[in-house]
Amino acid sequence: MSYNQKNNIVALTKPLLNKNLIFVLFFTIFNFCNWFTSTSSAQLSFATYSNEFLKIGVGAHALGMSNAVVASTSDVNSAYWNPAGLAQLKSNLEASFMHSEYFGGITKYDFGAIASRIDSNSVFAFSLIRLGVDNIPNTTMLIDPSGNINYDNITQFSIADYAFMFSYARNTKIPGLRIGANVKIVRRLIGDFGGAWGFGFDAAAQYDYKSWNFGAVLRDATTTFNAWSYNLPATMIATFQQTGNVLPSNSYEVTLPSLLFGASRSFKINKNLNVRAEVDAMTTFDGERNSLLSSQGFNIDPCIGLEFGYKNLLFFRMGAGNYQRLADINGTKYATVEPSIGVGIHYRTITLDYALANMGDQSSVLYSNVFSLKLAFVKHPHLTIPN
């Protein structure tokens, strides 16, 4: 075989290898999760629902599409949805803020993130999430040791969950392939009575092929470990014992990996109107859940989203997710789905998004009004950023 013939074979097979590499990566991650669940669950006790506040979602853009953005996310909010998407940042610096309330306004949910380019191929981001209920009355000391009611003994405390995420993304040498990762520090507080520290790691990738985008995130890739400790005053311990309450003890909980993957495609209707459609799925391996496809080994919860963009100025979004199979009091089974809608306005360096989305299944107010703001700072004239 001549030298030119060898070069021709390499030139023909290289694109095929590049396209197949991302699918091999996703398949390997999927099989790792199945193997980890089957071999480890017999030795440790895992929590089926752990650190659930990290799965609510951030940004009215994504919430308006029922969270179907894993493959297409490309801004500062990618730090949450798919850190590999940070590599597509179009500015030197971006910041995002969101505030929402649910359960009738009792619970406050806040998110803030900032992303900065290191160079033309890599990006670093920091994010903060807080979910909390504040001003909870502490009535454990309402009755003093003499049996008298003393309202001055009522104090207030907060229950809050915090997550600090450090993200990194980079374009690889394979055209269209981006990789990213999150390091998560979790802090959970129950007033001054107890709390937990946790640590986790996410791995992510995105791949573009023509008008298609593919994405995957392995959350809690090495499991996320939360260590709980409690510091109850002696008077509270006595109260708990007298009233038959269970005293909490120091413990730990482990969150198993979950896999998010999706595919997205964009369509150009005319020079002013673009449409993007995406289908995502979350696969969990922590025991049977009430999802559309469920088993003891794994569960799959799909979601779908659509976005219509006009001149990159106005956006309309809709989506559907959280498909569930339920049963009424008579045992009759039925299926439910939660739709969402949203709009967005982008002007120069400012983007304002709104979504009407479900933020808590048990809330008396089923749907929440969510607003988020994104600020982009103009890129440096000498910095070359991939399109």
Domain spans of the chain?
14-377
Which is more confident, 187 or 47?
187
Coil/strand/helix, residue 166: strand
Which is more confident, 255 or 147?
255
CA distances from 383 to 74, 90, 92, 350 (A): 18, 10, 8, 21
Coil/strand/helix, residue 49: coil
Distance of CA 244 to the CA centre of its chain: 38
Separation CA 140–CA 240 (nearest Å): 9
Query: What average pLDDT does this structure show over 370-387?
Result: 71
Separation CA 356–CA 339 (nearest Å): 9
Q: Tell me the pLDDT tens digit for each residue of 8-23.
A: 433 443 444 344 444 4
Report the helix count and the strand count for the chain, using DSSP H and E. 4, 17
Separation CA 156–CA 98 (nearest Å): 26
Query: What average pLDDT does this structure show over 22-29?
Result: 44
Q: Tell me the pLDDT tens digit for each residue of 323-344.
A: 877 777 887 877 788 899 999 9
Residue of 135, 208, 218, 132 lying closest to 174 (CA atoms)? 208
Cite the DSSP H helix spans in 110-248: 234-242
pLDDT score recorded for residue 182: 97
pLDDT score recorded for residue 192: 85
Torsion angle, alpha carbons of 265, 95, 166, 188, to 10: -110
Return mean pLDDT, the chain: 82
Q: For the chain, percent helix, then strand, then coil, each to nearest 5?
A: 20, 50, 30
Among the four given CATH numbers 3.20.20.70, 3.40.50.2300, 2.40.160.40, 3.40.309.10, the one describing domain 14-377 = 2.40.160.40
Q: Is the pLDDT of residue 314 over 90?
A: yes
Residue of 382, 366, 379 lying closest to 102 (CA atoms)? 366
Separation CA 365–CA 167 (nearest Å): 34
The helix (H) or strand (E) run that includes residue 34 is helix 3-40
Buried-state track 142-161, b at ≥16 Cβ within 10 A, e below 16: eeeeeeeeeeeeeeebebbb
